[in-house]
Amino acid sequence: MIDPTWKDGLQTEPLLGCFVTFASPANCEFTAEIGFDFTLIDNEHGLMHDETLENMVRASQAADCPSIVRTPFNQPDYIRRALDFGANGIQVPLVNDVADAHKVVKASHFPPFGERGVAFQTRPARYGMVSDKAAYLRDADRAKLVAVHVETVEAVDRLDALLEVEGIDVYFVGRKRLGKSPLTQREGRCRLGRDTGEVMGEATGGLAAAVGFLLEEPADHCAERGWHRRYELRERGRLARQNVSPVPTR
């Protein structure tokens, strides 16, 4: 059983996760056993059928490691199904404005705060055997992590408004996509687009859980720019090429 307060660690120290892109429960379990704080099952760039996705979530949790699912699109069906499979959170790409952010929040929270469908025959509700259903709904909303991508120039330009949306735990800076933006390149913006890391550091006032990064920069480089690295992701392929230890924290 995953500790329902696991994401509270974001407030005090970085949580270190790893991408899992291959559709393999065994691969996901292996990654979890390395010692990461969470796995990020990448259903945006990976190809996972529903049964496989549920078993990957189960495999990570069997290793006492929370599992986050990155959805293919910002669509309620993908978000709700990932959570009904028992995922400990979702990460949603291409959240470009406040309407997109509210769409994520509504799909990932039970009423009255959101519009997630209520069902008690699902895996996280112990297939109908959860005893206190009201407590289940309350605790499920509190325990899950909601992360959204800031990966376009449009999102960066609307960053202040995005940061005001209630119900989001992590804003994940998609630096690779930002760096490839034609607007970023044409206007000579830095690859973060308007120094996204610095802007987010200032806008959040030091909120520990506000910013996530796919780590490619050393810690001191991030600190110099005011980036709050609290939700960190590694790529196993990159670690293998560079012969770098994942430095597990569990």
Q: Among the options 45, 49, 102, 228, which is catalytic?
A: 45
* The model's pTM: 0.81
Would you list the domain boundaries of the chain? 6-242
Q: pLDDT (tens digit, 9 = 90+) per residue, 227-246?
A: 455 677 766 655 544 444 55
pLDDT at 180: 55
pLDDT at 30: 94
DSSP string computed for 175-206:
HHHHHH-HHHHHTT--TTSS-HHHHHHHHTTT
User: Which residues in the chain show pLDDT less than 70?
Assistant: 1, 174-230, 234-250
Q: pLDDT (tens digit, 9 = 90+) per residue, 196-232?
A: 444 444 444 433 333 444 434 444 544 554 445 567 7
DSSP string computed for 222-245:
HHHTT----EEEE-HHHHHHHT--
Out of 3.20.20.60, 3.40.50.300, 1.10.3720.10, 3.30.70.100, the CATH code matching 6-242 is: 3.20.20.60
Please enumerate in sequence order all residues whose Cβ is within 8 A of that of 115, keeping only pairs 6 or more positions apart, or say none.
76, 106, 107, 109
DSSP string computed for 47-110:
---HHHHHHHHHHHHHTT--EEEE-SSS-HHHHHHHHHTT-SEEEES---SHHHHHHHHHHHS-
Is 45 labeled as catalytic in the residue annotation?
yes
pLDDT at 1: 66
